[in-house]
Amino acid sequence: MNDHSSLTIRGIGAAPGIAIGKAFPLELGHIPVPHYRLFGDQAVLDECKRFEEAIAEAESDLEAIKRSIKSEFKDHARLLEVQQMILRDPSIYDESLRHIKEERTNAQLAVIKSLRRAKELFNSLNNDEYAKSRIADVNAAGDRVIRILAGQNHTNLQDIHERSVIVAHDLSPADAIQLQAGSTLGIVTEIGGSFSHTSIVARSMGIPAVTGVEKALRLISSNDLIIVDGRTGIVIINPSEAELQFYANRQDEIETYLKQISKHSHLPAQTSDGHRVSAEANIEALEEIVAAKDNGAEGIGLYRTEFFFMNRMELPDEESLYRDYHDLAELMAPSPVTIRTLDLGAEKLTAWCPMLEEANPALGLRSIRLCLHYKEVFKTQLRAILRASAAAHNIRLMLPLISGMDEIYEARRIVRDLQAELSRKRIPFDKDMPFGAMIEVPSAVAMADLLAQEVDFFSIGTNDLIQYSIGIDRSNEHVAYLYKPLHPGVLRLIKQAVDAGHEAGIPVAVCGEMAGEPLYVPILLGLKIDSFSMNPVALPRVKNLIRRSSMKECCRFVNKVIRMRTAQEIEESVSKLVMRKFPEEFRVFDPNWTANATAKKSGS
Ligand code: PEP
Ligand code: MG
């Protein structure tokens, strides 16, 4: 029996998996800042010099961290460049010097003042996810300089070798990439959602993470033993023996189950009654190809090309884009590779792209709209894709956020012009490269029959389709309870898009998060989805369930649930079906089962 009581706190499950370990609280940003006035011109000059030296030291620290990042995460090193850029940004650098010179304040206070101003600017962008991650970067960069000025060491995250669970108020993406996958067992942060860059980095490194845990730093002390359940968002501080035993068993169960099913992940995605679909991977960077192949990807169903454009000081040129796409195509050949054109805007912005003052960025100039607005950027990318298509003739081109025919017509016209230009210059390209549209807004579903006549395939982006059909911001934690993939309205829209696609003889994929959720396999199969594209680590579980499903049974199931009236009714039916057909999958992963079982076992 334990003589202390455990404490369970909840946040948002941001990266799946279970971590059990000692807490390593990071007090980033909580440094006492002295406040004094400088007397005499020499004192001002000395303080300016001290500030400039601190900036230089912070820059060389960041450079050293960049060099130490393991090669497989090199792509994320660009995030550190953002911090370096912030240090030299006039709003921080020039402003701090101005405060020192004009107001004769000490350097720490000058930095605090300019940071505050920069953060106010980002805050004025409302609830924007991009602004939140930029504030995290500004905080991280500022924190580093202030610590240097205060003579304190910044905790270099890559120096934490003790195997521990990092607990922080916030962790910028630049912080997250310094974490060592081996020694960082888990991550708990006080703020942030599951769509933040930090969550994306944590997921890609396979580190369980829970974000949005209020007062985590106050409740968790150094060396506390904590359990992090990155799927349910549960964090247990100083767990009881029973809780510890329970989660340790769960960790073993998950590991054993994954090991066992991974043995079969290279078998084709074919149902028990012979219906063949395709199981493909979503990637953000070429480094993920290894994970995609290892987990049995039958192609790349979504390459989110915008990540190559983000966290850069300037627009990448055609040559570097061409090399990226060419390498991807060659490495995956003969399997297909779906390159989605730039899906920037809303929460995904870059330094080189003009920041627009939009009241509703999710409804603003994003994605295909942004590309058709900045045509030269679009053309550069398209030219690179077309040239790369000659490598292995396996590239498919996909346009995001299509809302109507005009966007398809205009994009097609641009592609045709570029093809003509390449032909004139005798530059090879794949003349038969498939041209597809993402179905992400209700208007695209409503006119899917017409769109289907103009494209070679559909790919349903359920993340956005859910956001735009139910009318909720997908990264807003306050309306997260409404984010229901099994909402009857969402299922009906998916069905309508699939039926329209098939009527016109084109295949229909799903590349939103729904495709990577094993619980939804029977529904998506029954809706007659041809291709499932997902986070590479989800592939073995989804493929396993596809192979064990009967298409006939899934179709019967969908005929029944499509007539149901509420998401809850459908969720219950899905749970029952999965529990009955795949009890071990349900037992190992279902979050409610975990929570209920824990409550029963620990009596909490
Ligand atoms: C989607 O919206 O479902 C999708 C796959 O695109 P993203 O998540 O990149 O917006
Ligand atoms: Mg989308």
Strand blocks (E) in 97-252: 164-168, 184-189, 209-211, 225-229, 234-237
Phi, psi for residue 185 in degrees, rounded to 5: -80, -35
Q: What is the pLDDT of residues 45-54, one digit of tens each?
A: 999 999 999 9
Position 199 pLDDT exceeds 80: no
Query: Rounded to the nearest 5 degrees, what angle is found at the Cα of 505, between the Cα atoms of 500 and 506?
Result: 80
- The pLDDT of residue 142: 86
Closest by CA position to 237, among listed 268, 215, 267: 215
Mutate to test the pocket of ligand 1, among 370, 464, 474 (most ligand atoms within 8 A of CB): 464
Domain that holds residue 461: 269-354+367-597
149 CA from centroid of ligand 1 (Å): 42
Alpha-carbon span 397 to 184, nearest angstrom:
38
Q: What does the pLDDT look like over 567-593, one tens digit per residue?
A: 999 999 999 999 999 988 877 776 554
State how many domains the chain has.
Answer: 3
Amino acid letter for position 470? I
Co-location of 500 and 574 in the same domain: yes
What crossing angle do the helices spanning 41-68 and 93-103 adopt, rounded to 10°? 160
pLDDT at residue 596, as a whole number: 39
Query: Where does residue 579 rank: exposed (0-12), middle (13-18), buried (19+ CB within 10 A)?
Result: middle
Number of residues that this document lists for the chain: 604
CA–CA separation, 246 vs 54, rounded Å?
A: 48
User: If you measure from the C-alpha of residue 400 to the centroid of ligand 2, how many angstroms do you get, rounded to a whole number?
Assistant: 7
Among candidate residues 240, 258, 282, the one where a domain is terminated: 240
SS3 call for 532: strand
Phi first, then psi: what are they for 528, rounded to 5°? 70, 35
Name which residue sits closest to atom 9 of ligand 1, judged by CA.
304
Same domain, 17 and 64: no
Q: Which atom of ligand 1 is nearest to the CA of 512?
A: 3
Instruction: Identify whether residues 419 and 553 lie together within a single domain.
Output: yes
Q: What is the pLDDT of residue 396?
A: 98
337: CATH? 3.20.20.60
Comparing 104-113, 456-465, 543-552, which segment has the lowest mean pLDDT? 104-113
- Beta bridge partners, 459, equal 438, 509
- Average pLDDT of the chain to the nearest whole number: 86
Segment among 151-160, 178-187, 210-219, 256-265 with least mean pLDDT: 151-160
Between 28 and 518, the more confident residue is: 518
Which of 199, 463, 472, 513 is the best mutation target for the ligand 1 pocket, counting ligand atoms within 8 Å of the beta carbon and taking the most? 463
Q: What is the mean pLDDT of residues 19-34?
A: 74
pTM of the predicted model, to two decimals? Answer: 0.74
Catalytic residues: 197, 511
> Has residue 170 been placed in a domain?
no
Instruction: Tell me, yes or no, whether 602 lies in a domain.
Output: no
| Whether residue 13 is found in the same domain as residue 79 | no
- Output the CA 185–ligand 1 centroid distance in Å: 28
Pairing state of beta strands 457-460 and 435-439? parallel
d(CA 308, CA 305): 6
How many angstroms separate the CA atoms of 573 and 494, rounded?
Answer: 18
Q: What would the two tokens of residue 304 be?
A: 């989110």
Which residues have C-beta atoms less than 6 Å from ligand 1? 302, 304, 343, 440, 461-464, 511-512
